[in-house]
Amino acid sequence: MLLITCPVTRTDELVADRRVRPVADPRNRPGVVAVVADCPCGGAHVFLTGRRIEQARARLAAADRARRADVAVPA
């Protein structure tokens, strides 16, 4: 079983192993795990994880925080 957060309904869902399949070949994208989960909402959602994905998310979040800090707010 895999616990996912459905991006459509924003609820936590348990997905059976037979409903999860890999989509990224580790030989082509080392450090990345990508799976497609057939969600109970009826959609098929791609979930990415891995060290490089987390580093990229952290960089984007830091850039977003910096951009928000640079925006002038009218008084």
- Which pLDDT value is given to residue 62? 87
Domain parsing of the chain, residue ranges:
2-70
Q: Report how far apart, in Å, the C-alpha atoms of 42 and of each of 35, 53, 70 are.
A: 16, 26, 41
pLDDT band at 6 (very low <50, low <70, confident <90, very high): very high
pTM of the model: 0.58
- Which pLDDT value is given to residue 75? 64
Residues 28-45: what's their mean pLDDT?
A: 84
Neighbouring C-beta atoms of residue 41, cutoff 10 Å:
13
